[in-house]
Structures are given as C-alpha cells and as structure tokens.
Amino acid sequence: MTRNFFVGGNWKMNGSKATIDTITDGLNATKVPEGVEVVCGAPDVYLTYAQSKITNASVHVAAQNCYKEAKGAFTGETSADFLKDLGVNWVILGHSERRHVFGESDELIGEKCKKALETGLNIIPCIGEQLEEREAGKTEEVVFNQMKFIKENVSDWSKVVIAYEPVWAIGTGKVATPEQAQDIHQKLREWLKTEVSQEVADSVRILYGGSVNGKNCKELAGKPDIDGFLVGGASLKPEFSDIIRARE
C-alpha cells in the first residue's frame, strides 16, 4: 500500500526572524511533489511569524510540544488550544529531547497525545531507543513499550504520524542504515497490525528521523515502510528541499 510521503522539519530551539525569512523563502520556492505533506516544527514564539512567511500551500507549521491540560496554572507551558486558536494543526510530541533532556515519561507523553487529539490537532508522536538499549538488543522492547502508551491515548489514527528516531542517530551524523530503519519500521507496522488493526497498520505513516540529509534521504525513502522523515539539522538548510523531493 502506498502512503502519502510526509516530511517534517524540526527546527528545535533554533532560529530568528532573519533565519526564518531565509528558510521560508526556500520553502516557498520549493515545488512540493503532488501528495507530499510538509510541516515545519517552529519554536512556539515564532509559530505565527513562520506561518505569516509561508506562502506554499503544501507547507504547514507544527509546534514542537504542548501540555496535557487545556489551561490553568502551568507557567511557561503551551496549550493545544493555543495552537488550534493560532491555526497550527500539527504538534510533535514525545521527542527524545523531551524524554531525555526534560524527563517526560511515557505516561505524560500519552496524556499529551490524548489532549492534542481531543483538541483536534494532528500529532507526530516520537519513539526511539538509546544506543545502550540497541546494543543490549532491547530496541523492539523499548519502542513497543513507547507505542503502548501512545496507542492507549489515540482516538483517531487518521490524525497520527509516528516518528521513529533512534536517539543514537539524532544530531550525531550517525544515520541508521536504510536496512536498520526499514527493519524497525516494518516491525512497528506489524505491531500496529496486531495491537490496533490491519487498516491502521496499512495507513499510518511512519517517519524516520536521525541525521537525515540531502545525500542519504533517497535511499531511505526507497524503503517500503519508510513513509517520510522528521528532520532536525538539515531542515534549517537549503537541502531540506531535496529531502522534500526524495521520492522523485
């Protein structure tokens, strides 16, 4: 089954109005192939600015996180309702930096998924093992456990795009080989078939993230269970346009 190719950018805590001008000029000049979806995860403070600069109808902005409550005494947090109010319809959740830098638990990430979906957002929940977990042969155990907490909180799989991002490949330049990535993507799809349904397994996009760039994207995109990417560093560079066109 072919699924629409999906390319997410994750700008992380990077950017300025000037750099967003440059990035969005490049995105606006990119001919996005028919059916390909593109979202760019901007810092909260720049979401409206980024939105205002994007004129390419195939490109949308995403938030990089949101909280599990709609409103209240949660200083510094961003509500899914705020994002909806701004017309931001995508949010990345459970990124490995939220997990391993800011200590977000599987339970909290599940609750965030639930709240974001209830609010009408589309979500990009992230999973992925750490190097020592892979070296200990625990990759499947780790990612299936992370998926369990996501699955328990998903009310509508049509609004979910999963991102598998091996932590050891994020920001390291050590990209997973296409075979390594395809292996886990295939096992995740099998897991979805068993734990959810054949229909969901067939339709949910599973993105690969971790040192994707303009050079390695085509071979990765050629794998049957890799439906796109969640790109960090390279999403800030002109080569992001090459990644958007990786399936061409």
Ligand X SMILES: O=C(COP(=O)(O)O)NO
* DSSP track, 210-245: SS--TTTHHHHHTSTT--EEEESGGGGSTTHHHHHT
Crossing angle of the two packed helices 139-151 and 178-195, in degrees rounded to 10 = 40
Under the criterion CB under 6 A, does residue 94 sit at the interface with ligand X?
no
How distant, in Å, are the alpha carbons of 55, 68, 119 from that of 74?
Answer: 34, 10, 18
125 lies in the binding site for ligand X (CB under 6 A): no
Q: Is 165 a catalytic residue?
A: yes
Q: Are 68 and 111 in contact (CB under 8 A)?
A: yes
Q: Which CB sits closer to ligand X, 81 or 165?
A: 165
- Phi and psi at residue 138, to the nearest 5°: -105, 10
Q: Which of residues 157-186 bind ligand X (CB under 6 A)?
A: 165, 170-171
Please, what is the minimum distance in Å from the beta carbon of residue 193 to ligand X? 25
Q: Which of 111, 133, 165, 239 is catalytic?
A: 165
100 is catalytic: no
Backbone angles phi, psi at 203, to 5 degrees: -100, -25
Structure tokens at 247: 């399936």
Contact between 127 and ligand X (CB under 6 A)? Answer: no
Stretch that binds ligand X, among 107-115, 133-141, 150-158, 224-232 (CB under 6 A): 224-232
Q: Min. distance of Cβ 10 from ligand X in angstroms?
A: 4
62: contact with ligand X by CB under 6 A: no
Helices 139-151, 106-118: crossing angle, 10 deg rounding: 40
What character string, x for contact with ligand X (CB under 6 A) and - otherwise, covers 6-45? Answer: ----x-----------------------------------
**Sheet strands (E) in the chain:** 6-10, 37-41, 59-63, 90-93, 122-127, 161-164, 205-208, 228-231
95 near ligand X, judged by CB under 6 A: yes
Residue 165 or residue 227: which is nearer to ligand X going by CB?
165
Catalytic-labelled residue, pool 95, 97, 104, 129: 95
In the complex, the smallest distance separating the C-beta of residue 46 from ligand X, rounded to whole angstroms, is 17
CB of 236 to ligand X, least distance (A): 9
Neighbours of 19 (CB within 10 A): 13
Residues that bind ligand X (CB under 6 A): 10, 95, 165, 170-171, 209-212, 230-234
So which residues are the catalytic ones?
95, 165
